[in-house]
Amino acid sequence: MKTKLQALVIDDETQITALIAAILSSEGWTVSEAHTAAEAIEKLEQQAWSLVFCDVVLGGPDGYSVLRKFTEIQPNARFVLMTGQGSAAGALDATSTGAYDYLLKPFSIDDILKISVDLKRQWKSRKVSQPVDQKSTGYVSDLPLIGTSPKFVECLKLVGRVSGTNLPVLITGESGTGKEVVARAIHHRSKRAMQRFITVNCGAIPTELIESELFGHAKGSFTGADRERMGLWEEATGGTLFLDEITETNPLFQVKLLRALQEGEIRRVGSNRNIKVDVRVIAASNRDIEAEVEKGNFRQDLMYRLNAVTIELPPLRERQEDIPLLAEHFVEKVASPGNHSPTFTVEALETMQSYDWPGNIRQLENAVLHAVSLSDASIGPEHLPSRIQFGGDGVASVGNSADPATSSPAKWLPLAEMEKRYVAEVLAHSGGNKQAASRILNIDRKTLARIIGRKSSEDEPIS
């Protein structure tokens, strides 16, 4: 036991290494320290380590480089990355590359103690498994997973851990939380990454067509089937099939879906021949799948088959600290090439962070598109959709009180300001297309441009 309790702490800040070393030493670990990547790799070649704490930023090769080297040479070592600039994408990259954990600074003494206790228990029971040996080409994430909130970071840690397996995964979360983005993240970090990722929106395919769409059909199996056709399940062989809104399927089709998952084979509609397929299935739903089972809308055995691992995505209202990061990402995405992107004022960011976002990230993206289309150098609260400005539908808040006699005139808006906000809503509806907005409003492009360019009433001089 004593020979296994060897720990290495790597950080260019000596006070950090000293603190972690003191905590681990009190727990019975023999601890060594390193302050550069080169020094760490040299120590790697000198002896075997059970536990490694490593900072991401080391002033040269980063912690991910050290991690890849360790997983290549000492795959049994448990590796913990530490960072003061953490992100959900970083957590995904860390755990999918083989890290045991990903700690955000400042962490607590309890965080270190928990890792120590857990690993000592695992060593004692001889149940330590080897980390996934996946080599990546660098830390810069290739996936649009934006966020640093603790809930999202924990979620992406799980994504990283399941990516290297072949287990079916069930992703749950409200509409617009990014379920397909996470499904793609799992695929791109898996051994199937070079094969196809096929998405099927189960709620968008008519019930009578979904079996043929997924499993294919034989020639003459129904009217219009003039040739044999391969289904999407078969096309995904070797890769990943993403079944979005899986709870929208009917129980009859769910029986055939269950058989395909259990047996690893499908049968085309109208055929009597089974076809072997090698497909990893990731399913998603914005409904409570257990509640659907209780209602009799979804088969319990299929639920158990699909949710070998369940990943629950938090809604945007529980990730308020991620809203500015996401908003800036969407600005960069829609801004014109070669031009400086507009920036958000403090008031605009506060307005967005105080809103509940029932449509989640998808709604935020649309709101940013709306704001960019109305702004120039900076985006203020007045450029956001009225629903977001006023935290609801925006109707009562613009002076249309049910009882005008009791309304405060100070809350009433000038007609020009209301006109501008209405035009902004139409622009959002048309996806920022000014020509389409002009047709809806029955005005010419010059008039539309004049209304868009009009300053907010708060900025207009008092006459």
pLDDT tens for the 463 residues of the chain, in order: 344 588 999 998 889 999 999 999 988 899 999 988 888 888 887 788 889 999 998 877 888 888 888 888 887 788 999 988 878 888 888 888 888 899 988 888 989 999 998 888 776 654 333 333 333 333 334 446 888 888 999 999 999 999 989 999 999 999 989 999 999 999 988 999 889 999 999 988 888 788 888 998 887 777 677 778 888 999 999 999 999 999 999 988 999 999 999 999 998 888 888 899 999 999 999 999 999 999 999 999 999 999 899 999 999 999 999 999 999 888 887 766 556 678 899 999 999 999 999 999 989 988 998 888 887 778 999 899 988 987 654 443 333 334 444 444 444 567 777 777 778 777 776 667 777 777 777 787 778 887 877 644 344 443 3
Boundary residue ending a domain (82, 109, 143): 143
Q: Assess if residue 171 is contained within a domain.
A: yes
Q: 């755990």: which residue's tokens? A: 95
Domain shared by 251 and 204, yes or no: yes
The domain that contains 210 carries what CATH number?
A: 3.40.50.300
Counts of helices then strands in the chain (DSSP H, E): 19, 16
Q: Assess if residue 125 is contained within a domain.
A: yes
Q: pTM score > 0.75 for this model?
A: no
DSSP string, 242-284: EEETGGGS-HHHHHHHHHHHHHSEEE-BT---EEE---EEEEE
Q: Assess if residue 149 is contained within a domain.
A: no
Q: Which domain holds residue 7?
A: 2-143
Domain shared by 358 and 335, yes or no: yes
Q: 């749950």: which residue's tokens? A: 172
Domain shared by 177 and 129, yes or no: no
- Could you give the CA distance from residue 189 to residue 200 in angstroms, rounded to a whole number? 20
Q: Assess if residue 59 is contained within a domain.
A: yes
Domain shared by 455 and 371, yes or no: yes
Domain shared by 8 and 72, yes or no: yes
Q: Assess if residue 232 is contained within a domain.
A: yes
Domain shared by 176 and 216, yes or no: yes
Domain shared by 371 and 302, yes or no: no
Q: Assess if residue 153 is contained within a domain.
A: no
Could you check whether the bond before residue 106 is cis, i.e. omega within 30 degrees of 0? yes
Sign (positive/negative) of CA torsion 444, 445, 450, 453? Answer: positive
Domain shared by 253 and 375, yes or no: no
Contact yes or no for 411/399 (Cβ under 8 A): yes
Question: Please, what is the end-to-end C-alpha distance for the chain in angstroms?
Answer: 84
Strands 78-83 and 51-55: parallel
Q: Assess if residue 155 is contained within a domain.
A: no
Domain shared by 364 and 300, yes or no: no
Structure tokens at 165: 């397996």
Boundary residue ending a domain (89, 112, 143): 143
Domain shared by 282 and 386, yes or no: no
Domain shared by 133 and 9, yes or no: yes
Domain shared by 376 and 308, yes or no: no
Q: Assess if residue 286 is contained within a domain.
A: yes
Number of domains forming the structure of the chain? 3
